[in-house]
Structure 1
């Protein structure tokens, strides 16, 4: 079995507002990238994300962006960046003007380390959705002080 996963959650805001919370580096830095995000998520660019719990900026290649619908990224999906994984973030509007955010990641090798790293990233993306919900709905940064 190839290590891959998908996590999702509902955010009580319109899809465009939730999309911007990911695409805009200022917004992303407010609740997720504890060390800061540099560069707007636009197709064909490489941006950097920095986290206090994993010091050092990570390059993130933006493969595809469909505004208010989907963002596809490639990045080093393991501890040393030797494995490149694909992350797909989908945004789906609901009938009551909320947004379902789904994040999937795949591309790890079928090894014990690949499985371990996929579990770690699954936890990280689940935390991202929870932190995004708190930030977008209530202006609360759940990750502040959590890792530093």
Structure 2
């Protein structure tokens, strides 16, 4: 297992930490910039299903820890990896850092997964920033791999 390898994406979102944290735990907000369906809010100890209808993909998300306005620790994907969402209140907004780790792949497979994770979480943060700061739904996730 490539336990020392991790992916990190971050973005300053110029909104209060409470609003940014809520955007990640509340699917009524998150569906505006990430997945299209969810079976519920992220709550510690629960397993939630996220769905990307345009791709016919679902993922079970295990919520390991929630510290309001600070941290969300999850595990999801196939094969599953740990994904932590950290929220840091800044003078001019909220810094969101997404860390993905616990990869089981190696070599070329690991490089592909790292690339996909980095690009994917950067796209999520870009969409979140546009939605929370400007009320714009950029449809980044759906447009990332349009059907031909």
TM-score, with length taken from structure 2: 0.87
Deviation at residue 99 of structure 1 after TM alignment = 0.3
The structure whose residues are more often helix, as a share, is 2
CA distance in 2, matches of 1:138, 1:132: 10
Conserved? CA contact 2:7–2:117, under 8 Å: no
Q: Secondary structure at the match of 1:39?
A: coil
The counterpart of 1:141, out of the listed 128, 137, 140, is 137
Instruction: Kindly provide the CA deviation profile for residues 52-105 of structure 1, in whole angstroms up to 9, marking residues without a partner as x.
Output: 4542221111010000000000012xxxx1x22000100000123x00000000
Deviation at residue 110 of structure 1 after TM alignment = 4.6
Consecutive unaligned residues of structure 2, counting only runs of 5 or more, are none
Give 4+ residue runs of structure 1 displaced > 3 Å after superposition: none
Could you say which residue in structure 2 is the equivalent of 1:32? Answer: 34
Conserved? CA contact 1:3–1:108, under 8 Å: yes
CA distance in 2, matches of 1:14, 1:6: 22
CA distance in 1, matches of 2:5, 2:53: 26
What are the residue-to-residue correspondences of 1:1-148 with 2, within 5 Å? 2-33=4-35, 35-52=36-53, 54-76=55-77, 81=78, 83-96=79-92, 98-111=93-106, 112-143=108-139, 146=143, 147=146
Deviation at residue 142 of structure 1 after TM alignment = 1.2
Conserved? CA contact 2:85–2:97, under 8 Å: yes
Deviation at residue 143 of structure 1 after TM alignment = 1.6
Conserved? CA contact 1:3–1:115, under 8 Å: no
Consecutive unaligned residues of structure 1, counting only runs of 5 or more, are none
Q: What is the RMSD of the two structures over their aligned residues, measured on CA atoms?
A: 1.7
